[in-house]
Structures are given as C-alpha cells and as structure tokens.
Amino acid sequence: MKKIFFALLLISASLSFANIKVVASTTVIYDLVKEIGKDKVSVDFIARGDQDPHFVEVLPSYMVKLRNADIFFRIGMGLEMWSNQLIDGSRNSHLKTIDLATDIDKKEVPNFKPDASYGDVHPFGNPHYWLDPQNAKIMAKEIYEALSAESNQDEAYFKKNLDDFNYRIDKKINEWTNKMSSLKGKSFIFFHASWIYFADRFGIKTAGFVEPKPGIAPSPSHNAELVGIIKSKGIKTILMENFYSDSAPNQLSQLTGIKVVKVPTAVFGMKNINSYIEMMDNIINQIIQNS
C-alpha cells in the first residue's frame, strides 16, 4: 500500500514538473500554445475572442491567472497596453513575459513621431501580424523556443508538434493562396487598420477605412468620402472584425450596395471557430463568398 502511495506521489510529481503553466494575451496565441505544448502545458487566455484586444479592462481575476503562470505570451508592439498593470498586479516575480513580435517583419512602423492626432497609431508598428498565416509560423516557433527553454526534457516533443503544425499550416496556406488568387489586385474597404499583413500576404489592396483614423469612430463626413471611393472604384466588400459596431458600414451598404463582411479575428470569436486554422478558413471563405 505504502509503495503504491509513493509511486503515485512520484508520478504526480513528475507530471506536475512537465506541466508548464501558460497565459496567452489573446485566443490566437492560446491556440498556438496548445498546438505546440499539447498536454505538457496548461494554458489560459485573457482577451476573449469576441473582444477588442486593444481595450481589455484590468480585472483582478486576470491577475490571478498570471499569478499562477510560468510564461505570459503576448502579441506585443503596444497592442496590449493593459498587460503591464496585470503583470504588476499578479506580483509573480518568476513570470516570464514574451512578446511574439520579436522576429516578425513589422509593417507600418511610423517614421515620424506618432501622437494622438494620428489616432491610435502604434509607435512600434501595426501589431495585427497574426492575420498573415506565415507570421503564425513565426509565432509558433517563438512559442516552441520558450516552452523548450522552460522544460528542456520536452524539447523534442515540442519540436515534433511544431513540425506537425507547420506541415498542416503550409498546406492550408497553399489552399488559402489558391482561393484568394481570384481576388488578387482587388480593392477592399476595411473597418480598422488591422489588415495590412493579411492584404499583403494575399495581394489585395486597401481602398480606405471606415474609421477616419485608427481607433477613431466613423463620422458622417468620412462616410460621404467613402461613398465616393466605393462608387468610383467599384468596391464590393467592407471587411471588418465582428466586435466592432456595424452601423456605419451598414449605412455605406445602404448607400452603395457594398457588402459588409464581419469576421472573427480571434479564436472563439464566433461559434465553431475553435482554432487558428478554423478562423483563417472562415475569414477567407467569407471573403470569397462575398466579393
């Protein structure tokens, strides 16, 4: 009996050593960590999939999550302005905070001193890089390296999972690229300035934004300007994150007949979107169907 007890104790101890506790700032990172860490990590997230990741209220319950974590992964580039308050509030002096933007080829890095007159311009560049699936591979590699550093003995396991993920996403990138090829060179209106990485990857063009400046609410005069652009360029689609209000895009739709396509840009952003691949599938399929 005693031997069984000690054996169970040893097994549970070894299991607990293997279990890396991770918190992800967004659900996209959450899914990538699950892809690489699988059963060797326990992972939770902060910003819900149906929530604007720029504006997350600093809740003590998030501090509790970080308090018990070994690693906190975030997008970085100033997207999660709220995260430092959570880190401080967690009082976790062993927490490793890792920005996944380190190896990303950053776009729209301002070559001027950005201030609020430009809207919510991120001084380190546009942080919505996860909408390019090639960048998801870079994020996954960064996650693999961090998990391996945390648990050396599981490095091979994480590497196998990374290779498996890269294999699957490479296939999907080919599929998505083929699907989007018919739209190459076409112009779109986007709601928020978050689509530059996606647009560059699939060769589509940006004709304008519903927001007059990043983060600034749509205005009637700007809408009037967009009506002119939509009519003159024959633009067929407005693409927007599903957590934004669609009242201004719907007005544009009534005035011009343009289609409003609301898509999730995070995992769990809508029903049946439970992984990064499902999210990208949904975005691309909706664009194809409505353009």
Task: Pick out residues in 111-150 that bind another protein (CB under 8 A).
Answer: 113, 116
Report, in this order, helix, strand and coil percent for the chain, each rounded to 5. 50, 15, 35
Pair 56, 80: CB distance under 8 Å: yes
Question: Which of residues 157 and 243 has its CB atom nearest to another protein in the complex?
Answer: 243
| Type and span of the H or E element at 175 | helix 155-180
Give the closest residue to 73 by CA, choosing from 50, 54, 52, 47: 47
Considering the complex, what minimum distance in angstroms separates the CB of residue 162 from another protein? 30
Considering the complex, what minimum distance in angstroms separates the CB of residue 96 from another protein? 12
Q: Which of 81, 149, 156, 224 binds another protein (CB under 8 A)?
A: 81
Q: What is the DSSP letter of 95?
A: P
Considering the complex, what minimum distance in angstroms separates the CB of residue 156 from another protein? 33
Question: Which of residues 199 and 273 has its CB atom nearest to another protein in the complex?
Answer: 273
**CA 181, CA 179: separation in Å to the nearest integer?**
6
Considering the complex, what minimum distance in angstroms separates the CB of residue 66 from another protein? 11
The answer to whether residue 52 forms part of the interface with another protein (CB under 8 A) is: yes
Where in 19-68 does DSSP place strands (E)? 20-24, 41-45
Question: Which of residues 83 and 151 has its CB atom nearest to another protein in the complex?
Answer: 83
Task: Name residue 142's beta-bridge partners.
Answer: none
Q: Which residues of 93-127 are buried (b: 16+ CB within 10 A; e: fewer)?
A: eebebbbbbeebebebeeeeeeeeeebbbbebbbb
Question: Which of residues 50 and 200 has its CB atom nearest to another protein in the complex?
Answer: 50
Considering the complex, what minimum distance in angstroms separates the CB of residue 53 from another protein? 11
Question: Chain centroid to CA 140: how far?
Answer: 12
Considering the complex, what minimum distance in angstroms separates the CB of residue 229 from another protein? 22
Considering the complex, what minimum distance in angstroms separates the CB of residue 287 from another protein? 23
The answer to whether residue 109 forms part of the interface with another protein (CB under 8 A) is: no
**CA 280, CA 275: separation in Å to the nearest integer?**
9
The answer to whether residue 209 forms part of the interface with another protein (CB under 8 A) is: no
The answer to whether residue 271 forms part of the interface with another protein (CB under 8 A) is: no
AA identity, residue 238: I
The answer to whether residue 245 forms part of the interface with another protein (CB under 8 A) is: yes
Task: Name residue 45's beta-bridge partners.
Answer: 24
Question: Which of residues 88 and 163 has its CB atom nearest to another protein in the complex?
Answer: 88
Q: Which of 13, 15, 59, 156 binds another protein (CB under 8 A)?
A: 59
The answer to whether residue 93 forms part of the interface with another protein (CB under 8 A) is: yes
The answer to whether residue 57 forms part of the interface with another protein (CB under 8 A) is: yes
Query: Which whole-number Å values give the CA distances from 91 to 63, 189, 198, 213, 258, in the listed order?
Result: 8, 43, 37, 37, 50
The answer to whether residue 274 forms part of the interface with another protein (CB under 8 A) is: no
**CA 120, CA 249: separation in Å to the nearest integer?**
20
Interacting residue ranges for another protein, rule: CB under 8 A: 48, 51-52, 55, 57-61, 63-64, 67, 81-82, 85, 88-89, 91-93, 113, 116, 215-217, 243-245
